[in-house]
Structure 1
């Protein structure tokens, strides 16, 4: 039998065929890559695109004490610098995803040809380098294609972009861009957001086990989620730790110690309903959008900035500590006050005679609108609202899962007391704390700036300020008897709740919120002068020049009232309350800066006398519980306010360095405390100011000092404050004997 043997000619011929095939394959690959680079298989990013890669980047809100207050985002993504990323993260990523990352030029050919071998021996490696994965993340909006026919051209484009990225960026920039773009689940895009979400820390402080946990998520956002599949996540973390050990990024001892630990999550999901200053963030967003549109501030291509995608840097005046103290003070006292309110109404029907409130609440609800759209009749809708359903409701003990009819839920929420508070620096107008409501998840409406309520007796200082400006001394005495204001439309006589008989000084009358003497002052100065001052002090709502504005018949916001009271402290200068100072684009270019408006609302002497008058409220008047119950004996002034039927409770508090306004009431004015003892501002609003100030004073780092008093005018006073020295018995306005009676006791 003849044997088949290869001759030298055969071998030579086969070698030529092999090398021709190999050369042809290489040429074919080169042609395909060249065609891809020319866009034959889809458009490739330009050089400009590479310099400015697109990604949805969250806008960051910063406080004045340089902490992050929150974000606006579609994807919770914030960029971070390479030096701010823990080496543990870099090492975990490289050892798992791309061990030759620092050596290749975007495509790891050695790895490409050995993937099959590595998988056989159990050392699993992905097919794409970190640079290729970055290319996919940045420039493939549709994500990784599932179809083979789509994936092949996508892969080709990915290779070309990876090479371009390597040419234009350093390795540090590439891995940073990658870590800034990847999805870590739970609405956390990028390592910065992931570190905060899963471990409540910064990317720079991530330990090796923490870094391994986060890198492990990249294998499968759901499959290896530490919150959804903790056991799989733990196994994946330990595998990555072993890879880090194999690559000598951690020692054997570190590996053995780390793998014995659990995930030790400090999970803090990012949610617009959670975190500090939720109401403030919502108002701020609307303000920024209006400001950018009004001033026509746009991007280079003329398109509008998108706060949820364009990574703006927003700088505010909020102090993170003061904000936390304000929210804590609210929670502490409103929980107690709600218990008082519930006990007060126990066994009684607060809706007797107010049934229309329930109907209004029903018709304003989303459920009603949806049922109406479905074509249901009013009777069918009413039946639906009376049928119990499962729901989650708000309580001061936390959200409660319960079964309740929608109509009963309306009644329940109508009986929940609402509250808002704002604190600001009176010298520069900067807002330090903003608490727009009791719970943003359930009650979205902001009551600091967006809402207005009757201000009650907190308006009285405006009338007294005009009186002081007209030359009256705080020591001027008036008989506290019913008084009718005439000459300004219909005669007006206020009610005299809590009247103190006899002659009172103006200071004592204001301190004890006496209506008759306030009406007397209004008669002397006239409502037009008072309304003019109120508007000059920053109240933007309507203030008609009627005598009743002396007792606060007009409505105003907490924002405006706090700004107005700041003028008393700031030498009569009203400084517009500001909370936004600067907006920058993602590259740090300043887009907008805000400066406050400034108005000389009062002369300096009148303003100082008013701080003395307002101190009297705390020393001997309706605000005295600041001293005896809360121990605030330092220089503090303020004014309580209570509207008709106790519908609104107010307290405006002033200190030399901080001014704050607090409001409390129900959604509807018809629902309220039945007794003034419980419903007055001294009980419903003052305690929150007191608790806030105690926390502020206790924190020495804030620099709000107890031993600082209100600053007197540099040129001294011509108005007498010492009533023992006061002898003027004539009205400075008319020259006639003042008061309700020509009695020589006037002036003592």
Structure 2
């Protein structure tokens, strides 16, 4: 502005400006012991008083940076998300190109290495210039003073209250603020006393704003040139430094800024040449480089979980909501949140991207997020057995927490896999996936897998159920999903998921014992509440307990882990802003269940899983349980090996659509079966990577129960009514298996299966057999003296089997034997008149066994001795 055009008000302002900067110069001269400018004692004394009353303490603290989240892919960390309030990544001195450092000093503060924070000559020159202009148009700011200004800007931006933040920001950048300028000078001097020039220059390059939400030279290099600060060329470095004073005019995120940026860039390059920081060749090449779309390669920073890896968006949100649990980030949840907000952390997590891709693709393929007839939801998550590491987390809705996504059914900010605190889900009724907790409580109480209970549909008086807090009241009408009736063993009831079987088991236990088992395995409502066990329907998963898939996966993992529960965890390690490695989430395991009880429960659930479509049938031992709530509103399938447990849910996000009555294709599979189509490829892929071992053998006592009764021995020989009563007295069932051949009286119990004395499960049925009397003994006819043929006819006619035994003649009697010894006769008469008195007895019966008149069983054998001349 020319002097002729200066208005009276402008003249007064200029005078004030001249006086102000003259006074400031006096302060600087006095404080810095530089008597280069003559001033009056009064001005110096007054100015020194003002100057010394200003704060003189400021530090180069860490600035707000980006946080990054990593998953595992092919055994290596893979960055899946960047989260920041300001797009900044602090870098070290050696990570910045010399061209950037030189462009900054040549462009912004050519005497940076000569002054002590305030360039006195520049201050005086600015005072004169401001006098001519009639206002504060030039502040003679050094890089150190600009750094102070940027520190105050950053402090303002971190204020939570919007109005306070705005006021502090305006104060920090006030272009007419003499007080601000004086404060900057005072603090710049203190910085120069405390820090080296290198530290100050590095802090500036890391704190400076480069347009929009881009801060620091590293983020600027990435955003505008897709490179790093270390690789910046002279043209790129000068172009970035051109932004810092006027980012609204020269930032490279708008093509309209290319011209002003190049103009300032070329000025900086010229100064760099003049300062001998560029060779002529380097200068010529840089000046010839245009600032346009051929050289600027704009990369929009991906910030937040919406911009995360396609297969890690829900996971990103889960990690973000778990920050306050990470003890490595601070002593309190508030401190952890504050440190995370300041940023600079690298979070390495347990998610397996390879497996999660399979999980996510399976969910998307089978539970279309575009389904618009009802609010279809689906989710699947897997937990490593023995560690608690979460390795997959997928759902059918794309994560999007923008306000616009609220009305789009294909998107959701809610993570269906987690509790409300970690993703906003209220959870879902678990259905029959809750039944194994009754089974485990049954086994823990010493009861057996083979015990038999009634399965007939009925109405219960709730006073029949026991609860630790006192009696219950009301009635409970309960049926079976498939209309089962009769009796079932506990194993069969588990395989068939028969409701009444589990109600009968629960009736013989205490409901608190069942909920205690579940809670020891980590089961809780998604809102963190305890199970509502005062309603016995909780054992069937049909009460008001809504649980998250992650909760159920961890519970089944604990059963597979021989009863040891491990809290689910996700963060493996953390790298802090200084590059130090910090611990991730610690392994937190506890013994929740007797290993022997767990093994017995697995035995029953293995047989159930054998019938499920979710079973990949790959030879890896696996157990599990399905769950379907009333009217198939929610459906589940669980599967667990010795290595990994997977929970899969398909159901209504809201509303009550029966999934058995609606299909995505118009025919099979209905949505009630989709859980199996989702889970099978996930489990197969996990098994292929992790494998699995055989489950522990079941201790024999768990088959029949620790107090299994024995079949009473007294039932043999009793009547049917007597046997029935004796069996009922020890808790065993009765069945008449018909008649058997027996020598016992007709109609009496002759045998049983199992046999008397056998230990059998309570409620088992014992089959008894009654005697038909067919084996009762009859009198054997006396046939001694008869011919063999006559004897055989007599005995056969009486119902006996006959066997001839040859009796030689020389053994007919003792006298003849003695004569034979004397050579007076050989006793082997042949009927030919050889002088033997027995010759006529050959062929006759001389003995029998059993003897005549004795009793023997019909059909038994009678041996008859027949006299023969020789044998």
TM class, shorter-length: 0.5 to 0.7
Q: Which structure is richer in relative contact order (CA contacts within 8 A, separation 6 or more)?
A: 1
Structure 2 unaligned runs (5+)? 1-25, 128-137, 154-167, 407-411, 421-425, 466-471, 525-529, 710-729, 734-760, 769-871
- Residue aligning to 1:333: 363
Which of 683, 687, 692 is residue 709 of structure 1 equivalent to? 692
Q: Is 1:599 the counterpart of 2:599 in the alignment?
A: no
The answer to whether the aligner puts 1:569 opposite 2:560 as a matched pair is yes
Whether the 8 Å contact between 2:732 and 2:762 is mirrored in structure 1 is: no
Whole-angstrom CA distance in 2 between matches of 1:317 and 1:218: 34
Please point out which of 425, 446, 450 is paired with 2:384: 425
For 1:109 and 1:71, the matched residues in 2 are separated by 44
Q: How does 1:20-99 map to 2 (within 5 A)?
A: 26-28=37-39, 39-40=50-51, 43-46=54-57, 49-50=58-59, 53=61, 57=64, 60=67, 74-77=85-88, 79-85=90-96, 89-90=100-101, 93-94=104-105, 96-98=107-109
Tell me, in whole angstroms, the C-alpha distance in 2 between the residues paired with 1:421 and 1:588: 35
Q: Is the CA contact (8 Å cut-off) linking 2:650 and 2:672 kept in structure 1? A: no
Confirm whether residue 453 of structure 1 aligns to residue 436 of structure 2: no
Query: Does 2:537 match 1:548?
Result: yes
1:466 aligns with 2:441: yes
CA shift, 1:504, in A, is: 7.5
Q: Per the alignment, do residues 40 and 265 of structure 1 end up closer, same or farther by CA in structure 2, a change over 3 Å counting?
A: same
Aligned to 1:15: none
Query: Offset of 1:645 from its aligned partner?
Result: 2.4
Give 1:604 shift: 1.2
Change (3 A) 1:311 1:148: closer
Partner of 2:249: 223
SS at 1:666 equivalent: strand
Alignment of 1:126-145 (within 5 A): 128-139=141-152, 142=169
The 2-side partners of 1:643 and 1:210 are apart by 63
Displacement of 1:603 in angstroms is 0.9
- Cα deviation for residue 551 of structure 1 reads 1.9
Alignment-derived partner of residue 749 in structure 2 = none
- Structure 2 counterpart SS, 1:264: coil
1:155 aligns with 2:155: no
The aligned length equals 613
When residues 560 and 336 of structure 1 are mapped into structure 2, their CA distance, relative to the original with a 3 A threshold, is closer
Taking structure 1 as reference, are residues 609 and 173 closer, same or farther at Cα in structure 2, changes over 3 Å only?
farther
User: Is the contact between residue 634 and residue 707 of structure 1 (CA under 8 Å) also seen in structure 2?
Assistant: no
Q: Say which of 522, 533, 537 aligns to 2:521.
A: 537
Give TM-score, length-normalised by structure 2.
0.57
Tell me the distance in 2 between the aligned counterparts of 1:199 and 1:464: 63
Counterpart CA distance in 2 for 1:207 and 1:167 is: 32
Query: Aligned partners of 2:264, 2:678: CA distance in 1, in Å?
Result: 47
Give 1:262's match in structure 2, choosing from 291, 295, 302. 295
Instruction: State the shift of 1:104 in Å.
Output: 5.3
Contact 2:642/2:695 (<8 A) preserved: no
Matches of 2:627 and 2:671 in 1, distance apart?
Answer: 5
How far off its partner does 1:643 sit?
Answer: 1.8
Residue 187 in 1 paired to residue 213 in 2?
yes
Distance of 2:227 and 2:636 partners within structure 1: 39
Residue matched to 1:279: 317
Residues in 2 aligned to 1:433 and 1:36: alpha-carbon distance in whole angstroms: 67
| Matched ranges for 1:304-383 at <5 A | 307=338, 311=342, 318-319=349-350, 321-322=352-353, 326=356, 329-330=359-360, 333-334=363-364, 337-338=367-368, 341-342=371-372, 345=373
- Encode CA deviations 1:542-587: one digit per residue, 9 max, x unaligned: 2315442332124223343233222112220123334578999977
Distance 1:225 1:424, change over 3 A: farther
Q: Are 2:67 and 2:344, in contact at CA under 8 Å, matched by a contact in 1? A: yes
What is the SS of the residue equivalent to 1:620? coil
SS of match in other structure, 2:647: strand
Identify which of 600, 611, 616 aligns with 1:620. Answer: 611
Report the secondary structure of 2:590's partner residue.
Answer: strand
Could you tell me whether the CA contact under 8 Å between 2:69 and 2:82 is conserved in 1? no
The whole-number CA distance in structure 1 between the counterparts of 2:648 and 2:551 is 12
- In structure 1, what is the Cα distance between the partners aligned to 2:37 and 2:591? 81
- Does the residue aligned with 1:44 lie in a helix, a strand or coil? coil
Quote the Cα distance in structure 1 between the aligned partners of 2:239 and 2:598.
60
1:176 corresponds in structure 2 to 202
Residue of structure 2 in register with 1:656 after alignment: 642
Greater share of strand: 2
Q: Distance in 1 between matches of 2:45 and 2:681?
A: 71
* Partners of 2:284 and 2:234 in 1: CA distance: 13
Q: Secondary structure at the match of 2:385?
A: coil
Alpha-carbon distance, 1:495 to partner: 3.6
In 2: Cα distance, 1:34 partner to 1:639 partner: 87
Cα distance in 1 for partners of 2:188, 2:40 equals 16
CA shift at 1:533, angstroms? 0.9
User: 2:20 — aligned with what?
Assistant: none
1:592-647 CA-partner distances (Å, limit 9, x unpaired)? 997565432211123234445444454432523x45xxxx6644444332222232
Write out per-residue CA displacement over residues 301-323 of structure 1, whole angstroms, 9 at most, x where no aligned residue.
Answer: xxx7762786377786733544x
For the residue of structure 2 that corresponds to 1:135, the secondary structure is helix
How far 1:497 sits from its partner (Å)?
3.1
Report the 3-state secondary structure (helix = DSSP H, G, I; strand = E; otherwise coil) of the residue aligned with 1:665: strand
Instruction: Verify: 1:557 aligned to 2:548, yes or no.
Output: yes
Q: How many angstroms does 1:427 deviate by?
A: 1.9
Task: Indicate how the Cα distance of structure 1 residues 744 and 203 shifts in structure 2: closer, same or farther if over 3 A, else same.
Answer: farther
User: Distance between the aligned counterparts of 2:583 and 2:43, measured in 1?
Assistant: 49
Q: Distance in 2 between matches of 1:672 and 1:548?
A: 20
> What are the within-5 Å matches in structure 2 for residues 638-657 of structure 1?
638-657=624-643
The SS at the match of 2:37 is helix
CA distance in 1, matches of 2:478, 2:663: 20
RMSD: 5.3
